[in-house]
């Protein structure tokens, strides 16, 4: 082919350009993190380093990045730096830079001509077009750096020159919120440094396909890092805030355990937050015991209801039913159940189950409703697990003259057990944290002083239904419900905690329970998958 290029396969790197683009990259990263520390308020925005305010420093950082990018891009174009740029930076780059230029143009237009769309819109469009053309017309090394650098220089210069200080505010007419410079600048800087890292990443690998890959990887890496950081912060917040509450007056040997029959008292770990009721007159350290017990009963009942139903249906669908209309209907039904918002189950429980079972909020109704939510997950996972059992096992068993049901019971189900158990654990993790339906069919007083006594409340009666259980038909508390109740009830009745403190503690216990269940589920899935692959 005539226009194919023949390059040496081992291209040498130029050290000067490499060093410069690496410097730009490093500056972007530093400024990126600096902006985050301001946003997260780890550093106060009025703080000053060497007499220069933090905001101005961010601006200076952006200017440095911008200048560096221009030098790298132009240097490469003039041949001082050895690079392998493409003919053009490409349409996506053009669109990004065009949009940025349009934003700059819009702002300048508003400043110069006033706030009427007729006036600033053409200016914005003109700037956008200019930015687009400036990116796609020149060779990649200029097109992919200079137009972006101009935006960085404008923003950085404006901030560094003191155009924005911590007290500056922007109150656009379309928004009820007022944007202060102290927050707006770090937010813009975060995005601007991402832009800078993208461009510098490309330059660092000498542009071309390799350069675009490097730029994209820096961008993806930064986004993923931010995502993991936010998720980690979230968990960190709960743990740090909740730990103090959870460990209030806790000690490893402060409690006493009376050994039955002998009567000797032994030291015993004490966890008042986990072992005390929430309300009650003589409770010094309120705890979440009623909620823990309530969650246990809820989960127990839901599992008892959903697991036999789900596994039974999965067995019928995979082993007995022929593929046809019935299996299709069931598939639609399970997917429907799976994607229904949980609050709808609560509504159903409220309208259908409550009047027929208890006449009010009750543990039993909560169990059934959560069971409905667990059912599709159990069905789907156990069906997949049963389908994964090779037909050879079934054929081998049948060839030995074993009946179908015996084959299912002694060959298929044991082989499918790991997958099913994993599914059940994950499902339990999900329903243990479920709150919305509980508000409608389950929840009791916000600060219960007793735990539900389900086991001790069974009574035989002469009237139908012959067996009653008062506790099962009464409202109770559960961990997620307790958290909601604490949030909405407002003032906490005990002096030792504020409601927020109590909420953090409850959130931590809930998190431990649910994430613990998930960890077991995810771990067992990994374990079984690995075992399967080794065999």
Partner 1 sequence: MTSRRPSVQDVPTDLRAAASRRAAAAKRWVRDYRSRTADGAVAMHVVVFTSVLATFGAFFAGSQWTVVPFLAFLASIGVGWVKYQAEAAKALTLLTTVATVAILALVVSFLVYESLPAIRARGLDLFTQVRNPAIDDPELGEGLWNRGDVWSLTPMMLGTAITTVIATVVAAPVGIAGAVFVSEIAPRRVREVVKPGIELMAGIPSITYGFVGLTILNQYFYAEFSTPTIGTYFAAGLMIGIMALPTVVTVAEDALNAVPESIKSGALAMGSTPWQTTKSVTIPAGLSGVSAGVLLGVGRAMGETMAATVMLTHTKGFPSPVFDVFSGYGETLTTVIAFEAGNASGLHKNVLFAAGACCS
Partner 2 sequence: MSETDTVDGTDQRVTTTGETSERVREAWSDYEFAGDAKLVVDDLDVYYGDERALQGVSLDVPDESVTALIGPSGCGKSTFLRCLNRMNDRIDSARVEGSVTLDGEEVYSDGVNLVELRKRIGMVFQEPNPFPKSIRDNISYGPRKHGDLDTGLLARLLGRDDTDDEEALVERVLRRAALWDEVKDRLDDNALGLSGGQQQRLCIARALAVDPDVILMDEPASALDPIATAKIEDLIEELAEDYTVVVVTHNMQQAARISDQTAVFLTGGELVEYGDTDQIFENPESQRVEDYITGKFG
What number of chain residues touch partner 2 (CB under 8 A)? 21
Q: Which two tokens stand for residue 181?
A: 């410079």
The two structure tokens encoding residue 53: 């305010």
> Does the protein bind partner 1 through residue 309 (CB under 8 A)?
yes
Would you say 211 or 376 has its CB closer to partner 2? 211
CA proximity to 135, closest of 194, 94, 175, 84? 94
List 93, 136, 154, 438, residue binding partner 2 (CB under 8 A): 136
Q: Which of partner 2, partner 1, none interacts with 4 (beta carbon under 5 to 8 A by kind)? A: partner 2
Q: Closest distance between partner 2 and the C-beta of residue 208, in Å?
A: 7
Minimum Å distance from CB 514 to partner 1? Answer: 5
- From 98-106, 205-213, 295-303, 437-445, span contacting partner 2 (CB under 8 A): 205-213
Give the span between the Cα atoms of 139 and 150, in whole angstroms.
Answer: 17
Contact predicate 364/357, CB 8 Å: yes
Residue span 210-239 as binding mask against partner 2, x where in contact by CB under 8 A, dash where not? x-----------------------------
* 244 lies in the site for partner 1, by CB under 8 A: no
**Residues 520, 525: Cα–Cα separation, whole Å:** 8
| Residue 15 within binding range of partner 2, rule CB under 8 A | no
Question: CB–CB of 257/272 below 8 Å?
Answer: no
- Rounded to whole angstroms, the Cα distance separating 292 from 398 reads 47
Please tell me whether residue 10 binds partner 2 under the rule CB under 8 A: yes
Of residues 266 through 295, those in contact with partner 2 by CB under 8 A are none
Element (H or E) spanning 121, and its range? Answer: helix 117-136
CA–CA dist 520, 510 (Å, integer) = 15
11 binds partner 1 (CB under 8 A): no
| Rounded alpha-carbon distances, angstroms, from residue 502 to 251, 493, 498 | 19, 11, 6
Which two tokens mark 255? 């409690």
Q: Could you report how far apart the first and last alpha carbons of the chain are, in Å?
A: 50
Q: Which is nearer to partner 2, 73 or 156 (CB)?
A: 73
Least distance (Å) between residue 348 CB and partner 1: 5
Applying CB under 8 A, the span of 2-10, 14-22, 148-156, 441-449 interacting with partner 2 comes to 2-10
Q: Rule CB under 8 A: say whether 9 interacts with partner 2.
A: yes
Residue 89: how many CA atoms within 13 Å on its side-chain side? 30
Partner whose binding site includes residue 221, from partner 2, partner 1, none (CB under 5 to 8 Å by kind): partner 1
d(CA 454, CA 293): 10
Q: Is 533 in the site for partner 2 (CB under 8 A)?
A: no
Give the footprint of partner 2 on this chain (CB under 8 A): 1, 3-5, 7-13, 86-88, 91, 94, 136-137, 208-210
């Amino acid at each position: 082919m005539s226009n194919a290029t023949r390059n040496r396969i081992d291209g040498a790197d130029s050290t000067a350009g490499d060093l410069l683009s690496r410097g730009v990259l490093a500056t972007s990263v530093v400024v990126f993190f600096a902006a985050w520390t301001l946003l997260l308020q780890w550093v106060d925005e009025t703080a000053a380093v060497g007499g220069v305010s933090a905001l101005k420093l961010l601006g200076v950082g952006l200017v440095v990045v911008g200048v560096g990018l221009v030098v790298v891009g132009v240097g490469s174009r003039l041949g001082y730096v050895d690079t392998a740029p493409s003919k053009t930076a490409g349409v996506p780059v053009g669109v990004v830079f065009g949009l940025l230029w349009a934003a700059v143009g819009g702002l300048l237009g508003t400043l110069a001509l006033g706030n009427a769309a007729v006036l600033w819109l053409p200016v914005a469009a003109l700037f956008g077009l200019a930015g687009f053309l400036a990116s796609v017309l020149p060779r990649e090394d200029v097109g992919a750096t200079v137009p972006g650098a101009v935006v960085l220089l404008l923003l950085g210069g404006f901030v560094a020159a003191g155009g924005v200080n911590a007290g500056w505010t922007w109150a656009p007419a379309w928004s009820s919120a007022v944007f202060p410079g102290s927050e707006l600048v770090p937010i813009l800087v975060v995005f601007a440094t991402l832009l800078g890292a993208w461009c510098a990443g490309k330059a660092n690998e000498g542009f071309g396909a390799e350069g675009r890959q490097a730029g994209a990887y820096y961008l993806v890496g930064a986004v993923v890092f931010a995502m993991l950081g936010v998720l980690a912060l979230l968990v960190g917040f709960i743990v740090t805030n909740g730990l103090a509450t959870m460990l209030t007056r806790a000690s490893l040997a402060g409690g006493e355990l009376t050994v039955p029959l002998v009567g000797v008292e032994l030291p015993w770990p004490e966890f008042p937050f986990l072992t005390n009721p929430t309300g009650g007159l003589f409770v010094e350290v309120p705890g979440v015991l009623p909620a823990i017990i309530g969650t246990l009963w809820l989960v127990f009942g839901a599992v008892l209801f959903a697991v036999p139903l789900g596994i039974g249906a999965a067995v019928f669908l995979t082993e007995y039913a022929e593929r046809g209309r019935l299996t299709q209907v069931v598939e639609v039904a399970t997917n429907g159940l799976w994607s229904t918002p949980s609050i709808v189950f609560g509504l159903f429980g409220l309208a259908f189950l409550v009047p027929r079972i208890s006449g009010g909020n009750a543990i039993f109704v909560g169990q059934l409703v959560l069971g409905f939510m667990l059912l599709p997950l159990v069905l789907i996972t156990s069906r997949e697990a049963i389908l994964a059992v090779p037909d050879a096992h079934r054929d081998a068993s049948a060839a030995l003259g074993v009946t179908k049901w015996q084959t299912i019971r002694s060959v298929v189900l044991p082989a499918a057990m790991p997958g099913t158990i994993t599914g059940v654990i994950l499902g339990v993790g999900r329903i243990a944290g479920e709150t919305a339906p509980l508000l409608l069919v389950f929840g009791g007083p916000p600060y219960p002083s007793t735990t539900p006594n389900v086991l001790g409340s069974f009574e035989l009666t002469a009237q139908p239904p012959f067996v009653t259980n008062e506790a099962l038909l009464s409202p109770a508390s559960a961990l997620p419900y307790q958290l909601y109740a604490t949030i909405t009830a407002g003032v906490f009745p005990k002096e030792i905690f504020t409601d927020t403190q109590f909420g953090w503690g409850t959130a931590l216990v809930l998190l431990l329970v649910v994430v613990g269940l998930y960890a077991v589920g995810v771990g067992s899935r990994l374990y079984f998958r690995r075992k399967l692959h080794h065999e």
